[in-house]
Amino acid sequence: MTDGSCGFDGVAGYARTVMSDHAGRLRSPQLDVDKLLADPGIRIVVCCGSGGVGKTTTAAALGLRAAERHGRRTVVLTIDPARRLAQSMGLSALDNTPRQVKGVDGDGGGELHAMMLDMKRTFDEVVLAHTDAQKAEEIFANPFYQAMSSTFSGTQEYMAMEKLGQLRARGEWDLIVVDTPPSRSALDFLDAPARLSRFLDGRMIRMLLVPARVSGRSMFKLASASFGLFTRAVTKVLGTQLLTDVSTFVAALDSMFGGFRERAERTYRILQNKETAFLVVAAPEPDAIREAAYFADRLAHEQMPLTGLVLNRVTTVAAPAISAETAQAAAVRLDGQSVTADVMRVHSALVEQRARQRAVTERFVSAYPKVPVVEVPVQAADVHDLDGLREIGRSLSGA
Amino acid sequence: MATQEHAGWPARLNVVTGKGGTGKTTVAAALAIALATGGRRVLLVEVEGRQGIAQLFELPPLPYEERVIAAAPGGGEVNALAIDAEQALLEYLDMFYRLGMAGRALQKMGAIDFATTIAPGMRDVLLTGKLKEAVTRTVDGRRVYDAVVVDAPPTGRIGRFLNVTAETARLAKVGPIKSQSEGVSAVLRSPMTAVHVVTMLEEMPVQETTDAIVELRGLGIPIGSVIVNATRAPMLAGVRVSQAEIRRGLTQAGVSADRDTVAGLVTEAKAYQTRLGVEAALRDDLAALGRPVVELPALVDGVTREGLDILARTLLRAS
């Protein structure tokens, strides 16, 4: 078996050596979650994937298992958890400081801390870190900052990565488990830091700063005619006061451009580091699987370590001996004898759903045959306490 | 052109939101077909550049241009429009200032990108502005569309999207954008508008439905119906499922089964019943919101045109 901490074995690093030969099993190697969580060389686990596939639950379950089974001091960074899931970890509001989760078995020396990302406050912290208090106050008071820090597309993704960088820098945890924002595209959080720093660094912003800078530089000469038109148009449409607000905001942020870019780049390097493991979380549905495939490609392209695929919400068939056809025929024959007929209908729907899921998942498996996969059965009810998370943790570890 | 309103769907501007993955686009399309039924003219609009409508109707990507995409029962027609924020901005600037060449120069310089980024919500101002225009457009004193249906941003962003005009009025204290914004804001807060929230019987979508309705109520934006997508007729409700019972039934049906299989069937049935219990609790949560709740059946054969018609009929029956 390869040593997961060596970093060069790529996707095969946390596969079980024994391939299961159960009929109906996927052909992929099985992901060894316990080996991953126990590996002291792994400091960050990023759970990514499209929205609505149980990413946050997976992150929380991994964190709990790392703390209880592997004695690791763990922190889970969640973005937008379902209320009951948040409550199960004792989280009741956005809070930028990790809090220790009560009720975690710490006999092995592990601890679990959890926090929900406060996007606005994280942005404030970044500003404060790069400028003096007075200037920071000016920025905070600017209506554009207020709007941008809570609405700019990509701010949440950027701040999630920023927070990850901060947690990592504090060095207080053995393991940081990150849930990524519920982006329209699973890839947004990789692009957001670059997008934000490109925006803050952009040509238009520079132009707005022109009055305060050396004028007549060659790059502006070409544009100056239309730029005059532009300012006139903007002034007319938006009003002078608005334009003044924009320039003040931009001028205030100007001093921090370098800092923003540098931070984004640092976080990016952390993600490329071999201490980071990416788990793509998906459900066996066409859209989620398509996103998972994009993600696998993208990570390979960025030279970021894809450790495995967590396939949530997999339908389980407890009576595989009866086929869907047999069950349907039996239901027809028994009509009127409702209980068994309905049981047969429920069973046949399960078998058919399982087959559909298998076909969809096969698309990923055949494209990425080396990526280890773990399947987590669908839960009849939503997780709302630590026991529920432990149960998911057991499924994740293949138990 | 028929002018009679469909009872139960009185709004002219029907904004369809919902958590991602609940079938928002499908429901918006079905509602457009429903509202076009009986010879009416409906515009189905998409605002997020996803080309979801084109995919749904198996058409090539829609341009920024209104065109007929489907006929509805009784001679109605559904038109579609994919609003592009950049095009809308140029159109908008042109409305106030004849920019011509300068407009193209702005586009080249990335000014549009810039404007829609730095002026937060500028994009949404343009999109909602276009919606108002479509709803209120008349030709020769007659309304062009009997109804407009919007495949809107998801629940997490719907409040911000619809409230952006109020925000803008705060940022732009004078100028045409301010007056324009106020006009849009007034339409969105009038009985002309209804926001319908699509959900499924799962915890997160129901939670987001509740959150969105609370938020929209706070903003004074009228809420229409809660539409529960992909529901199935419940079986085994309140029934005690035992191994003995199943063994008897299987024997009668001529199906042989060993111990494990019978036990497995009981496990499956119990998990199903647990799920039903969760769904019942979620239905209660939705009913408590005090809005009409419409349930749409799961489409077993995927979303086809026939499927959309089934959903459209269900939506009309609900009214």
**Higher pLDDT, residue B39 or A83:** B39
The residues near B186 (Cβ < 8 Å, ≥ 6 apart) are none
Long-range contacts of B279-282 (CB under 8 A, 24+ apart): B279/B201, B279/B234, B282/B201, B282/B202, B282/B203, B282/B206
Instruction: Quote the minimal CA–CA distance from B102 to chain A in Å.
Output: 6
Binned at pLDDT 50, 70 and 90, residue A350 comes out as very high
**Higher pLDDT, residue B195 or A10:** B195
A71, amino acid identity: G
How far apart are the two ends of chain B, measured CA to CA in Å?
21
Instruction: Quote the minimal CA–CA distance from A234 to chain B in Å.
Output: 9
Binned at pLDDT 50, 70 and 90, residue A153 comes out as low
- Note the CATH architecture for domain A4-396: 3-Layer(aba) Sandwich (3.40)
Least confident of A81-85, A363-367, B71-75, B201-205: A81-85
- What local confidence, expressed as pLDDT, does residue B134 receive? 94
* CATH annotation of B13-234+283-317: 3.40.50.300
Q: How far is Cα B27 from Cα B33, in angstroms, rounded to an integer?
A: 10
> Taking CB atoms and an 8 Å limit, are B174 and A241 in contact across chains?
yes
A220 pLDDT higher than 60: no
Contact between A339 and B265 under an 8 Å Cβ cutoff? The reply is no
A9 pLDDT higher than 50: no
Q: Helices A338-367 and A286-301: crossing angle, nearest 10°?
A: 20
Residue boundaries of the structural domains of chain B: 13-234+283-317
B2 pLDDT higher than 50: no
Q: How far is Cα A138 from Cα A124, in angstroms, rounded to an integer?
A: 12
B116 pLDDT higher than 50: yes
Instruction: Quote the minimal CA–CA distance from A321 to chain B in Å.
Output: 7
> Taking CB atoms and an 8 Å limit, are B267 and A246 in contact across chains?
no
A222 pLDDT higher than 70: no
List b or e across A129-145, with b for residues whose CB sees 16 or more CB atoms inside 10 angstroms. ebbeeebbeebbebbbb
Task: State the best of A83, A185, A340, A345 to mutate against chain B, taking most chain B CBs within 10 Å.
Answer: A340
B105 pLDDT higher than 80: no
Q: Which residues of A touch B175 (CB under 8 A)?
A: 236-239
Q: pTM for the full model? A: 0.81
Which residue is associated with the tokens 């068994």? A340
- Percent of residues, chain A, with pLDDT higher than 70: 72
Give the chain B residue whose CA is nearest to the CA of A182: B20
> Taking CB atoms and an 8 Å limit, are B109 and A319 in contact across chains?
no
Which of A82, A238, A347 shows the shortest C-beta gap to B203?
A82
Q: From start to end of A340-395, where are the E strands?
A: 373-377
- What local confidence, expressed as pLDDT, does residue A240 receive? 63
ipTM score assigned to the predicted complex: 0.82
Which tokens is A379 given? Answer: 């839960």
List, for residues B264-306, the tens digit of each pLDDT value. Answer: 999 999 999 999 999 999 999 999 999 999 999 999 878 899 9
Q: Which residues of A touch B235 (CB under 8 A)?
A: 342, 345-346
Contact between A114 and A98 under an 8 Å Cβ cutoff? The reply is yes
- Percent of residues, chain A, with pLDDT higher than 90: 42
Instruction: Quote the minimal CA–CA distance from B81 to chain A in Å.
Output: 21
Average pLDDT in chain A: 80
Long-range contacts of A289-293 (CB under 8 A, 24+ apart): A289/A360, A289/A361, A289/A363, A289/A364, A291/A49, A291/A50, A291/A185, A291/A186, A292/A49, A292/A50, A292/A186, A292/A364, A293/A363, A293/A364, A293/A367, A293/A368
- What local confidence, expressed as pLDDT, does residue A61 receive? 97
> Taking CB atoms and an 8 Å limit, are A333 and B119 in contact across chains?
no
**Higher pLDDT, residue B95 or B72:** B72
Contact between B153 and B47 under an 8 Å Cβ cutoff? The reply is yes
Contact between B42 and B79 under an 8 Å Cβ cutoff? The reply is yes
List, for residues A279-312, the tens digit of each pLDDT value. Answer: 999 999 888 898 899 889 989 888 888 999 999 9
Mean pLDDT of A159-181: 90
Question: Residue A265, Cβ neighbours under 10 Å: how many?
Answer: 13
Q: How far is CA B171 from CA A96, A142, B174, B199, in A?
A: 29, 10, 9, 34
Task: State the best of A50, A342, A351 to mutate against chain B, taking most chain B CBs within 10 Å.
Answer: A342
Q: Which residues of B touch A382 (CB under 8 A)?
A: 202-203, 278
Beta strands A276-282 and A306-314 are parallel
Q: Which residues of B touch A144 (CB under 8 A)?
A: 118, 120, 171
Q: How far is Cα B189 from Cα A385, in angstroms, rounded to an integer?
A: 41
> Taking CB atoms and an 8 Å limit, are B249 and A339 in contact across chains?
yes
Least confident of A197-206, A336-345, B33-42, B297-306: A197-206
Q: How far is Cα A127 from Cα A148, in angstroms, rounded to an integer?
A: 13
List, for residues B167-221, the tens digit of each pLDDT value. Answer: 777 766 666 777 888 899 999 999 999 999 999 999 889 999 999 999 999 999 9
Q: How far is Cα A3 from Cα B266, in angstroms, rounded to an integer?
A: 43
Which of B202, B236, B261 shows the shortest C-beta gap to A342?
B236
Which tokens is A216 given? Answer: 């007549």
The 3-class SS string of A258-279 reads: HHHHHHHHHHHHHHHCCCEEEE
Q: From start to end of A84-226, where are the E strands?
A: 95-100, 111-116, 175-179
